[in-house]
Amino acid sequence: MMNFELTQEQKEIHEMAMKFARNEMMPNASEFDLKSEMPMDILQKAWELGLVNTCIPCDFGGNGFNTIDAMIITEALAYGCLGMNTAIMANDLALLPIVIGGTKEQKEKYLKPFTESYKIAAFCLTEPGNGSDAGGLKTSIKDGGDHWIVNGQKMWITNAGYADLFTLYGTIDPELKHKGISALIIDAKTEGIEVGAPEKKMGHCCSDTRSVTFNNVKVPKENMLGKPGEGWKIAMQTLDHSRPMVASSAVGGAQCALDHATQYAKERVQFGKPISGHQSIQFMLADMATKVEASRLLVYKSAWLIDNGQSNTKLASMAKRFASDSFMEVATDAVQIYGGYGYSKEYPVEKLMRDAKLIQIYEGTSQIQRLVIAKEVLK
Ligand code: CAA
- CA-nearest residue for atom 5, ligand 1, is 236
Mutate-to-test residue for ligand 1 from 158, 162, 211, 368, highest number of ligand atoms within 8 A of CB: 368
* pLDDT surpasses 70 at 193: yes
Q: Where in the chain is the domain with CATH 1.10.540.10?
A: 8-116
Looking at the predicted structure, is the pLDDT value of residue 257 above 80?
yes
**Tell me, what amino acid is at 122?**
A
Where does CATH 1.20.140.10 sit in the chain? 232-377
d(CA 161, CA 210): 7
- Does the structure show a pLDDT above 90 at 295? yes
Rounded CA-CA distance 138/298 in Å is 34
Measured distance CA(120)–CA(97) in Å, rounded: 15
CATH 2.40.110.10 in the chain is located at: 121-229
pLDDT score at 2: 79
For residues 338-360, give the mean pLDDT. 98
Active-site residue set:
363
Average pLDDT of the chain is 98
156 Cα nearest atom in ligand 1: 54
Question: Cα of 236 to ligand 1 centre, how many Å?
Answer: 5
CB < 8 Å & 24+ apart, contacts of 190-198: 190/217, 190/218, 190/219, 191/217, 191/218, 192/150, 192/216, 192/217, 192/218, 193/166, 193/217, 195/160, 195/161, 195/163, 196/160, 198/36, 198/161
CATH, range 8-116: 1.10.540.10
> What percent of the chain has a predicted confidence (pLDDT) above 70?
100
Ligand 1 neighbour 158 (Cβ under 6 A): yes
Give the pLDDT mean for 52-58.
97
Give the position, in ligand 1's atom list, of the atom nearest the Cα of 232. Answer: 21
Q: Would the CB of 362 count as within 6 Å of ligand 1?
A: yes
- What pLDDT was estimated at residue 26? 98
Q: Measured in angstroms, how far is the CA atom of residue 101 from the centroid of ligand 1? A: 16
84 closest CA partner among 342, 362, 364, 355: 355
Q: Given CA atoms 260, 72, 287, 375 in this order, what sign does their dihedral have?
A: positive
Nearest CA to ligand 1 atom 49: 363
How far apart CA 155 and CA 139 sit, in angstroms, is 11
Does ligand 1 have an atom closer than 6 angstroms to the CB of 24? no
Q: Which atom of ligand 1 is nearest to the CA of 375?
A: 26
**Ligand 1 contact via 134 beta carbon (within 6 Å):** yes
Pocket-testing residue among 233, 318, 362, 367, ligand 1, by greatest number of atoms within 8 A of Cβ: 233
Q: Is 90 in the pocket of ligand 1 (CB under 6 A)?
A: yes
Per-residue confidence (pLDDT) for residue 3, from 0 to 100: 87
Q: Distance from the CA of 10 to the center of ligand 1, in angstroms?
A: 32
Distance from C-alpha of 91 to C-alpha of 80, rounded to nearest angstrom: 18
SS3 content of the chain, % helix, strand, coil (to 5): 60, 15, 25
In the chain, the largest separation of any two C-alpha atoms, in whole Å, equals 79
How far apart (Å, rounded) are the C-alpha atoms in residues 321 and 317?
6
For ligand 1, whether the C-beta of 370 sits within 6 Å is: no
Q: How far is the CA of 234 from the centre of ligand 1 (A)?
A: 10
284 CA → ligand 1 middle, Å: 36
Q: Which atom of ligand 1 is nearest to the CA of 372?
A: 34
The CB of 135 under 6 Å from ligand 1? The reply is yes
Ligand 1, from 89, 178, 362: best to mutate by most atoms within 8 Å of Cβ?
178
SS3 61: coil
156 CB near ligand 1 (under 6 Å): yes
Give yes or no for residue 166 CB within 6 A of ligand 1. Answer: no
> Which residue's CA is minimally distant from atom 23 of ligand 1?
178
Domain 232-377 has CATH 1.20.140.10: yes
Give the pLDDT confidence of 101-157 residue by residue, as tens digits: 999 999 999 999 999 999 999 999 999 999 999 999 999 999 999 999 999 999 999
pLDDT tens-digit profile of 316-326? Answer: 999 999 999 99
Query: Mean per-residue pLDDT for 241-269?
Result: 98
Find out if CATH 3.20.20.450 is the number for domain 121-229: no
182 pocket-lining for ligand 1 (C-beta < 6 Å): no
CB 325 within 8 A of CB 369: no
Contact 205, 83 (CB under 8 A): yes
pLDDT value at position 1? 63
